[in-house]
Amino acid sequence: MTAKIMNESRLKAAISVSEMCSLLKMSRSQFYAHVRKGTFHPPLKLPNGRPYYNASMVEDNVKTREMGIGVNGQFVIFYERAEPGGSGPTRPTVKPKADYGDLMESLQSLGLTNLTTALVEKAVADCFPKGTTGQDEQHILRTIFRHLKRAGTG
């Protein structure tokens, strides 16, 4: 896994927090809890305030996940998600709540103010009734920005 990640990180000079969480196979909230503990590097910030990770930080964070030794030098044990169809107890299926943190940050950097998660969530539902899966991030940002501007938000 590390070789694949290192090859991918060489292709990109920087990645978003969402991509970092995806590489580490954990939720943003779980990831940020580890950042607060010092297990993973905290993100750097672009001039517009958007958080990102450079290639060496990506490599360090991935090694932390694989080896169980945080960037702070302390041991850490990560819980693996159970595979679907496993032998454990089953829970009712709950649709996960979408995380619009990156989208909200991008919208704010474009000058929209007074954004709430509920407002952005409604705009996404209005503009993309079938969901945003398979949509380009820039297309989503542009569409939501225009929708909110037309609605008089910001």
pLDDT at residue number 153: 75
Which residues constitute the domain of residue 11? 2-67
Gap between the Cα atoms of 142 and 135, Å rounded: 12
Residue 124 lies in a domain: yes
CATH number, residue 23? 1.10.1660.10
H-state helical runs in 12-136: 17-24, 28-37, 55-67, 101-109, 117-127
Residue 53 lies in a domain: yes
Nearest Cα to Cα of residue 97 among 80, 126, 117, 119: 117
> Is residue 9 located within the same domain as residue 62?
yes
Q: Are 56 and 142 in contact (CB under 8 A)?
A: no
Dihedral class, residue 56 (left if φ above 0, else alpha if ψ from -120 to 50, else beta): alpha
Gap between the Cα atoms of 63 and 14, Å rounded: 17
pLDDT at residue number 35: 94
Residue 77 lies in a domain: no
Q: Give the end of a domain, one of 67, 93, 111.
A: 67
Gap between the Cα atoms of 121 and 129, Å rounded: 11
Q: Which stretches of the chain score pLDDT less than 70? A: 1-11, 81-98, 154
